[in-house]
Structure 1
Protein backbone atom coordinates (compact mmCIF):
# COMPACT_ATOMS: atom_id res chain seq x y z
CA UNK A 1 0.00 0.00 0.00
CA UNK A 2 2.79 2.38 0.95
CA UNK A 3 4.53 1.72 -2.38
CA UNK A 4 1.33 2.48 -4.30
CA UNK A 5 0.96 5.79 -2.48
CA UNK A 6 4.61 6.71 -2.95
CA UNK A 7 4.63 6.10 -6.71
CA UNK A 8 1.81 8.55 -7.61
CA UNK A 9 3.45 11.12 -5.31
CA UNK A 10 6.76 10.68 -7.14
CA UNK A 11 4.95 10.97 -10.47
CA UNK A 12 3.31 14.20 -9.34
CA UNK A 13 6.64 15.53 -8.13
CA UNK A 14 8.30 14.75 -11.48
CA UNK A 15 5.40 16.32 -13.34
CA UNK A 16 5.63 19.49 -11.22
CA UNK A 17 9.38 19.69 -11.76
CA UNK A 18 8.90 19.24 -15.51
CA UNK A 19 6.27 22.01 -15.62
CA UNK A 20 8.60 24.36 -13.75
CA UNK A 21 11.52 23.69 -16.10
CA UNK A 22 9.34 24.09 -19.19
CA UNK A 23 7.92 27.33 -17.78
CA UNK A 24 11.43 28.58 -17.02
CA UNK A 25 12.41 28.02 -20.66
CA UNK A 26 9.25 29.77 -21.89
CA UNK A 27 9.95 32.73 -19.61
CA UNK A 28 13.56 33.02 -20.76
CA UNK A 29 12.49 32.96 -24.41
CA UNK A 30 9.68 35.47 -23.96
CA UNK A 31 10.68 37.94 -21.23
CA UNK A 32 14.42 37.37 -20.84
CA UNK A 33 16.60 36.71 -17.84
CA UNK A 34 15.63 39.85 -15.91
CA UNK A 35 11.91 39.15 -16.14
CA UNK A 36 12.25 35.47 -15.32
CA UNK A 37 11.79 35.35 -11.57
CA UNK A 38 10.81 32.29 -9.54
CA UNK A 39 7.36 33.81 -8.90
CA UNK A 40 6.74 34.40 -12.61
CA UNK A 41 7.87 30.89 -13.49
CA UNK A 42 5.73 29.34 -10.72
CA UNK A 43 2.64 31.22 -11.86
CA UNK A 44 3.21 30.17 -15.47
CA UNK A 45 3.69 26.55 -14.37
CA UNK A 46 0.46 26.64 -12.35
CA UNK A 47 2.12 25.87 -9.03
CA UNK A 48 2.61 27.85 -5.85
CA UNK A 49 5.83 29.70 -5.16
CA UNK A 50 6.28 27.41 -2.16
CA UNK A 51 6.07 24.34 -4.38
CA UNK A 52 8.57 25.89 -6.78
CA UNK A 53 10.97 26.58 -3.94
CA UNK A 54 10.54 23.03 -2.66
CA UNK A 55 11.98 21.77 -5.96
CA UNK A 56 14.38 24.69 -6.51
CA UNK A 57 15.22 26.57 -3.28
CA UNK A 58 16.79 29.52 -5.13
CA UNK A 59 16.43 31.25 -8.47
CA UNK A 60 19.92 30.04 -9.32
CA UNK A 61 18.89 26.44 -8.65
CA UNK A 62 15.87 26.78 -10.93
CA UNK A 63 17.69 28.29 -13.87
CA UNK A 64 20.74 26.08 -13.48
CA UNK A 65 18.38 23.12 -13.88
CA UNK A 66 16.65 24.89 -16.75
CA UNK A 67 20.02 25.24 -18.51
CA UNK A 68 20.39 21.45 -18.45
CA UNK A 69 16.78 21.09 -19.60
CA UNK A 70 17.35 23.46 -22.51
CA UNK A 71 20.51 21.57 -23.44
CA UNK A 72 18.79 18.19 -23.42
CA UNK A 73 15.79 19.50 -25.35
CA UNK A 74 17.98 21.09 -28.02
CA UNK A 75 19.95 17.89 -28.52
CA UNK A 76 16.78 15.78 -28.65
CA UNK A 77 15.22 18.23 -31.12
CA UNK A 78 18.16 17.67 -33.42
CA UNK A 79 18.07 13.88 -32.99
CA UNK A 80 14.37 13.79 -33.82
CA UNK A 81 14.79 16.04 -36.85
CA UNK A 82 17.59 14.01 -38.44
CA UNK A 83 16.25 10.56 -39.30
CA UNK A 84 18.05 8.26 -41.71
CA UNK A 85 17.61 9.61 -45.24
CA UNK A 86 18.73 8.47 -48.68
CA UNK A 87 21.99 10.05 -49.92
CA UNK A 88 22.01 13.01 -52.26
CA UNK A 89 20.83 16.63 -52.44
CA UNK A 90 17.46 15.94 -50.76
CA UNK A 91 19.22 14.53 -47.71
CA UNK A 92 21.55 17.51 -47.50
CA UNK A 93 18.66 19.96 -47.84
CA UNK A 94 16.71 18.23 -45.08
CA UNK A 95 19.68 18.26 -42.72
CA UNK A 96 20.47 21.93 -43.38
CA UNK A 97 16.81 22.89 -42.88
CA UNK A 98 16.64 20.90 -39.62
CA UNK A 99 19.74 22.67 -38.28
CA UNK A 100 18.22 26.00 -39.31
CA UNK A 101 15.00 25.26 -37.43
CA UNK A 102 16.90 24.22 -34.32
CA UNK A 103 18.49 27.65 -34.15
CA UNK A 104 15.30 29.56 -35.04
CA UNK A 105 13.02 28.24 -32.30
CA UNK A 106 12.12 28.91 -28.69
CA UNK A 107 14.86 26.72 -27.24
CA UNK A 108 17.58 28.75 -28.96
CA UNK A 109 15.99 32.01 -27.77
CA UNK A 110 15.99 30.72 -24.20
CA UNK A 111 19.59 29.55 -24.46
CA UNK A 112 20.62 32.91 -25.87
CA UNK A 113 19.14 34.70 -22.86
CA UNK A 114 21.29 32.48 -20.66
CA UNK A 115 24.39 33.32 -22.73
CA UNK A 116 23.78 37.04 -22.29
CA UNK A 117 23.16 36.73 -18.55
CA UNK A 118 26.19 34.45 -18.13
CA UNK A 119 28.45 37.06 -19.71
CA UNK A 120 28.22 39.12 -16.50
CA UNK A 121 27.47 36.36 -13.97
CA UNK A 122 30.44 34.11 -13.15
CA UNK A 123 28.36 31.46 -11.36
CA UNK A 124 25.94 31.19 -14.25
CA UNK A 125 28.78 31.20 -16.80
CA UNK A 126 30.36 28.24 -15.03
CA UNK A 127 27.14 26.30 -15.67
CA UNK A 128 26.55 27.52 -19.24
CA UNK A 129 30.00 26.96 -20.75
CA UNK A 130 30.30 23.17 -20.36
CA UNK A 131 26.71 22.61 -21.42
CA UNK A 132 27.08 24.76 -24.53
CA UNK A 133 30.31 22.91 -25.35
CA UNK A 134 28.39 19.65 -25.09
CA UNK A 135 25.61 20.89 -27.37
CA UNK A 136 28.20 22.03 -29.90
CA UNK A 137 29.96 18.65 -29.92
CA UNK A 138 26.75 16.63 -30.16
CA UNK A 139 25.20 18.88 -32.81
CA UNK A 140 28.36 18.61 -34.90
CA UNK A 141 28.53 14.82 -34.59
CA UNK A 142 24.84 14.35 -35.33
CA UNK A 143 25.14 16.57 -38.41
CA UNK A 144 28.11 14.58 -39.69
CA UNK A 145 26.20 11.33 -39.25
CA UNK A 146 23.00 12.70 -40.81
CA UNK A 147 24.89 13.94 -43.86
CA UNK A 148 26.82 10.69 -44.18
CA UNK A 149 29.95 12.85 -44.35
CA UNK A 150 33.54 11.68 -43.88
CA UNK A 151 35.56 14.24 -41.91
CA UNK A 152 38.83 12.61 -42.87
CA UNK A 153 38.58 14.49 -46.19
CA UNK A 154 39.99 18.05 -46.20
CA UNK A 155 37.41 20.75 -45.67
CA UNK A 156 34.52 18.51 -44.62
CA UNK A 157 34.80 19.28 -40.90
CA UNK A 158 34.91 23.01 -41.69
CA UNK A 159 31.89 22.71 -44.02
CA UNK A 160 29.86 20.99 -41.30
CA UNK A 161 30.89 23.60 -38.74
CA UNK A 162 30.03 26.36 -41.22
CA UNK A 163 26.52 24.89 -41.46
CA UNK A 164 26.09 25.15 -37.70
CA UNK A 165 27.62 28.63 -37.53
CA UNK A 166 25.46 29.87 -40.41
CA UNK A 167 22.29 28.52 -38.78
CA UNK A 168 23.22 30.13 -35.46
CA UNK A 169 23.77 33.49 -37.13
CA UNK A 170 20.46 33.25 -38.97
CA UNK A 171 18.81 32.38 -35.67
CA UNK A 172 20.16 35.59 -34.17
CA UNK A 173 18.77 37.56 -37.11
CA UNK A 174 15.36 36.04 -36.39
CA UNK A 175 15.17 37.31 -32.81
CA UNK A 176 13.78 40.79 -33.44
CA UNK A 177 11.85 40.26 -36.66
CA UNK A 178 10.48 37.30 -38.57
CA UNK A 179 13.32 36.43 -40.91
CA UNK A 180 11.84 33.14 -42.12
CA UNK A 181 11.78 33.84 -45.86
CA UNK A 182 15.36 35.10 -46.03
CA UNK A 183 16.56 32.26 -43.79
CA UNK A 184 14.99 29.65 -46.07
CA UNK A 185 16.57 31.22 -49.17
CA UNK A 186 20.02 31.39 -47.60
CA UNK A 187 19.82 27.82 -46.27
CA UNK A 188 18.64 26.54 -49.67
CA UNK A 189 21.68 28.09 -51.35
CA UNK A 190 24.00 26.71 -48.70
CA UNK A 191 22.45 23.23 -49.00
CA UNK A 192 23.12 23.28 -52.75
CA UNK A 193 26.75 24.31 -52.23
CA UNK A 194 27.26 21.77 -49.44
CA UNK A 195 25.71 18.97 -51.47
CA UNK A 196 27.99 19.79 -54.41
CA UNK A 197 31.04 19.66 -52.13
CA UNK A 198 30.05 16.33 -50.60
CA UNK A 199 29.36 14.88 -54.06
CA UNK A 200 32.98 15.50 -55.09
CA UNK A 201 34.34 13.31 -52.28
CA UNK A 202 35.39 9.72 -52.94
Structure 2
Protein backbone atom coordinates (compact mmCIF):
# COMPACT_ATOMS: atom_id res chain seq x y z
CA UNK A 1 0.00 0.00 0.00
CA UNK A 2 2.79 2.42 0.89
CA UNK A 3 4.55 1.77 -2.43
CA UNK A 4 1.29 2.36 -4.34
CA UNK A 5 0.82 5.69 -2.58
CA UNK A 6 4.37 6.79 -3.37
CA UNK A 7 4.16 5.76 -7.03
CA UNK A 8 0.80 7.51 -7.41
CA UNK A 9 2.27 10.67 -5.88
CA UNK A 10 5.17 10.74 -8.33
CA UNK A 11 2.81 10.19 -11.27
CA UNK A 12 0.64 13.10 -10.16
CA UNK A 13 3.62 15.39 -9.55
CA UNK A 14 4.75 14.74 -13.12
CA UNK A 15 1.26 15.05 -14.62
CA UNK A 16 -0.22 17.91 -12.56
CA UNK A 17 2.66 19.55 -10.71
CA UNK A 18 2.91 20.20 -7.00
CA UNK A 19 -0.10 22.53 -6.80
CA UNK A 20 -2.28 20.07 -8.71
CA UNK A 21 -1.34 17.11 -6.51
CA UNK A 22 -3.63 16.52 -3.55
CA UNK A 23 -3.80 13.75 -0.97
CA UNK A 24 -7.33 12.96 -2.17
CA UNK A 25 -6.15 12.47 -5.77
CA UNK A 26 -3.23 10.35 -4.57
CA UNK A 27 -5.44 8.02 -2.55
CA UNK A 28 -7.84 7.69 -5.51
CA UNK A 29 -4.99 6.98 -7.95
CA UNK A 30 -3.44 4.44 -5.57
CA UNK A 31 -6.77 2.75 -4.90
CA UNK A 32 -6.57 3.10 -1.13
CA UNK A 33 -8.88 4.72 1.39
CA UNK A 34 -8.29 8.26 2.56
CA UNK A 35 -7.90 6.99 6.12
CA UNK A 36 -5.23 4.50 5.11
CA UNK A 37 -3.34 7.20 3.23
CA UNK A 38 -3.48 9.55 6.24
CA UNK A 39 -2.23 6.76 8.49
CA UNK A 40 0.96 6.46 6.42
CA UNK A 41 1.35 10.14 5.47
CA UNK A 42 -0.57 12.67 7.56
CA UNK A 43 0.32 15.67 5.34
CA UNK A 44 0.82 16.39 1.68
CA UNK A 45 4.40 17.54 2.30
CA UNK A 46 5.27 14.28 4.08
CA UNK A 47 3.79 12.34 1.17
CA UNK A 48 5.56 14.14 -1.67
CA UNK A 49 8.96 14.18 0.04
CA UNK A 50 8.68 10.45 0.79
CA UNK A 51 7.64 9.81 -2.81
CA UNK A 52 10.65 11.58 -4.30
CA UNK A 53 12.97 9.88 -1.80
CA UNK A 54 11.47 6.49 -2.71
CA UNK A 55 11.90 7.09 -6.43
CA UNK A 56 15.44 8.32 -5.84
CA UNK A 57 16.28 5.02 -4.14
CA UNK A 58 14.76 3.08 -7.02
CA UNK A 59 16.59 5.21 -9.56
CA UNK A 60 19.89 4.77 -7.70
CA UNK A 61 19.55 1.01 -8.07
CA UNK A 62 18.75 1.40 -11.78
CA UNK A 63 21.79 3.66 -12.25
CA UNK A 64 24.02 1.14 -10.47
CA UNK A 65 22.81 -1.58 -12.83
CA UNK A 66 23.35 0.67 -15.86
CA UNK A 67 26.81 1.63 -14.60
CA UNK A 68 27.81 -2.01 -14.41
CA UNK A 69 27.10 -2.33 -18.14
CA UNK A 70 29.09 0.75 -19.20
CA UNK A 71 31.90 0.17 -21.71
CA UNK A 72 35.54 0.68 -20.89
CA UNK A 73 38.05 2.50 -23.04
CA UNK A 74 37.66 5.52 -25.29
CA UNK A 75 33.87 5.71 -25.32
CA UNK A 76 33.32 5.32 -21.59
CA UNK A 77 33.04 9.04 -20.79
CA UNK A 78 30.46 9.50 -23.51
CA UNK A 79 28.44 6.55 -22.20
CA UNK A 80 28.61 7.90 -18.63
CA UNK A 81 27.35 11.31 -19.74
CA UNK A 82 24.48 9.84 -21.72
CA UNK A 83 23.50 7.71 -18.73
CA UNK A 84 23.48 10.80 -16.50
CA UNK A 85 21.63 12.80 -19.16
CA UNK A 86 18.88 10.18 -19.30
CA UNK A 87 18.69 10.22 -15.51
CA UNK A 88 18.12 13.97 -15.41
CA UNK A 89 15.50 13.71 -18.17
CA UNK A 90 13.54 11.07 -16.24
CA UNK A 91 10.21 11.49 -14.39
CA UNK A 92 12.19 11.55 -11.13
CA UNK A 93 13.83 14.83 -12.14
CA UNK A 94 10.45 16.34 -13.11
CA UNK A 95 8.95 15.32 -9.77
CA UNK A 96 11.98 16.65 -7.87
CA UNK A 97 11.83 19.90 -9.84
CA UNK A 98 8.23 20.39 -8.76
CA UNK A 99 9.37 20.04 -5.15
CA UNK A 100 12.27 22.49 -5.58
CA UNK A 101 9.99 25.17 -7.03
CA UNK A 102 7.34 24.68 -4.34
CA UNK A 103 9.95 24.64 -1.55
CA UNK A 104 11.32 28.00 -2.65
CA UNK A 105 8.31 29.75 -1.06
CA UNK A 106 7.24 27.11 1.49
CA UNK A 107 9.51 27.11 4.52
CA UNK A 108 8.10 23.89 5.98
CA UNK A 109 8.56 22.04 2.70
CA UNK A 110 12.06 23.49 2.28
CA UNK A 111 13.10 22.09 5.67
CA UNK A 112 12.14 18.61 4.45
CA UNK A 113 13.39 18.91 0.88
CA UNK A 114 16.80 20.56 1.45
CA UNK A 115 18.44 17.65 3.35
CA UNK A 116 17.08 15.14 0.82
CA UNK A 117 18.43 17.11 -2.12
CA UNK A 118 21.80 17.55 -0.43
CA UNK A 119 22.09 13.80 0.12
CA UNK A 120 21.06 12.98 -3.44
CA UNK A 121 23.49 15.61 -4.75
CA UNK A 122 26.41 14.12 -2.78
CA UNK A 123 25.57 10.60 -3.93
CA UNK A 124 25.28 11.63 -7.57
CA UNK A 125 28.56 13.55 -7.43
CA UNK A 126 30.40 10.60 -5.89
CA UNK A 127 28.95 8.24 -8.48
CA UNK A 128 30.07 10.55 -11.30
CA UNK A 129 33.59 10.73 -9.84
CA UNK A 130 33.84 6.94 -9.68
CA UNK A 131 32.37 6.33 -13.14
CA UNK A 132 34.62 8.92 -14.78
CA UNK A 133 37.69 7.76 -12.89
CA UNK A 134 38.27 11.37 -11.87
CA UNK A 135 41.05 12.17 -9.41
CA UNK A 136 39.63 14.97 -7.27
CA UNK A 137 42.93 15.46 -5.46
CA UNK A 138 44.09 17.31 -8.59
CA UNK A 139 43.25 21.02 -8.83
CA UNK A 140 40.13 21.75 -10.86
CA UNK A 141 38.88 18.18 -11.19
CA UNK A 142 36.14 18.50 -8.58
CA UNK A 143 34.89 21.61 -10.38
CA UNK A 144 34.93 19.76 -13.72
CA UNK A 145 32.76 16.97 -12.26
CA UNK A 146 30.38 19.50 -10.74
CA UNK A 147 30.20 21.43 -14.02
CA UNK A 148 29.32 18.15 -15.73
CA UNK A 149 26.46 17.54 -13.30
CA UNK A 150 25.26 21.13 -13.66
CA UNK A 151 25.31 20.66 -17.43
CA UNK A 152 23.20 17.48 -17.43
CA UNK A 153 20.84 19.02 -14.86
CA UNK A 154 20.35 22.05 -17.11
CA UNK A 155 19.72 19.82 -20.11
CA UNK A 156 17.17 17.92 -18.04
CA UNK A 157 15.43 21.21 -17.28
CA UNK A 158 15.28 22.05 -20.99
CA UNK A 159 13.72 18.64 -21.61
CA UNK A 160 10.72 19.47 -19.39
CA UNK A 161 9.37 21.82 -22.06
CA UNK A 162 10.05 19.81 -25.22
CA UNK A 163 11.73 16.53 -26.12
CA UNK A 164 15.35 17.65 -26.25
CA UNK A 165 17.00 14.25 -26.68
CA UNK A 166 18.76 14.93 -30.00
CA UNK A 167 20.27 18.25 -28.92
CA UNK A 168 21.21 16.76 -25.55
CA UNK A 169 23.08 13.93 -27.25
CA UNK A 170 25.11 16.31 -29.43
CA UNK A 171 26.03 18.53 -26.49
CA UNK A 172 27.04 15.61 -24.29
CA UNK A 173 29.13 14.07 -27.07
CA UNK A 174 31.07 17.34 -27.40
CA UNK A 175 31.43 17.69 -23.62
CA UNK A 176 32.71 14.09 -23.39
CA UNK A 177 35.57 14.97 -25.74
CA UNK A 178 36.33 18.13 -23.74
CA UNK A 179 36.19 16.26 -20.44
CA UNK A 180 38.41 13.43 -21.67
CA UNK A 181 41.01 15.91 -22.86
CA UNK A 182 40.89 17.90 -19.59
CA UNK A 183 41.14 14.83 -17.37
CA UNK A 184 43.87 13.20 -19.46
CA UNK A 185 45.79 16.49 -19.76
CA UNK A 186 45.72 16.95 -16.02
CA UNK A 187 47.01 13.42 -15.49
CA UNK A 188 49.87 14.12 -17.92
CA UNK A 189 50.71 17.35 -16.09
CA UNK A 190 50.79 15.51 -12.77
CA UNK A 191 53.10 12.82 -14.21
CA UNK A 192 55.38 15.49 -15.72
CA UNK A 193 55.55 17.32 -12.38
CA UNK A 194 56.51 14.09 -10.58
CA UNK A 195 59.14 13.30 -13.21
CA UNK A 196 60.61 16.80 -12.92
CA UNK A 197 60.68 16.54 -9.14
CA UNK A 198 62.45 13.18 -9.41
CA UNK A 199 65.16 14.64 -11.64
CA UNK A 200 66.07 17.30 -9.07
* TM-score, structure 2 as length reference: 0.87
* Cα separation, 1, equivalents of 2:107 and 2:22: 19
| TM-align CA RMSD | 1.6
The C-alpha deviation readout for 1:2-47, integer Å capped at 9, x for no partner, is xxxxxxxxxxxxxx10010111111111110011101111121122
Unaligned runs of 5+ in 1: 1-15
Of 121, 125, 132, the match for 2:117: 132
Change (3 A) 1:158 1:88: farther
Contact 2:103 2:109 in 1 (8 A): yes
SS at match of 2:79: helix
Mapped pair 1:17 → 2:33: no
Counterpart of 1:101 in structure 2 is 86
Deviations 1:42-98 (A, max 9, x none): 121122222212221222321232232243234334323322655433111111111
Partner Cα separation in structure 1 for residue 70 and residue 84 of structure 2: 15
After TM superposition, the structure 1 = structure 2 runs for residues 111-190 of structure 1, keeping only pairs within 5 Å, are: 111-190=96-175
Asked if 1:38 corresponds to 2:12, the answer is: no
- Which position in structure 1 is the counterpart of 2:191? none
CA distance in 2, matches of 1:124, 1:104: 24
Verify: 1:68 aligned to 2:53, yes or no: yes
How far, CA to CA, are the matches of 1:66 and 1:116 in structure 2?
16
Secondary structure of 1:35 counterpart? coil
Q: Which residue does the alignment assign to 2:14?
A: 29
C-alpha distance in 2 between matches for 1:81 and 1:49: 37
Which of 170-179 and 47-56 deviates more?
Answer: 47-56
Which consecutive residues of structure 2, in runs of 5 or more, have no partner in the other structure?
Answer: 189-200
Change (3 A) 1:77 1:151: same
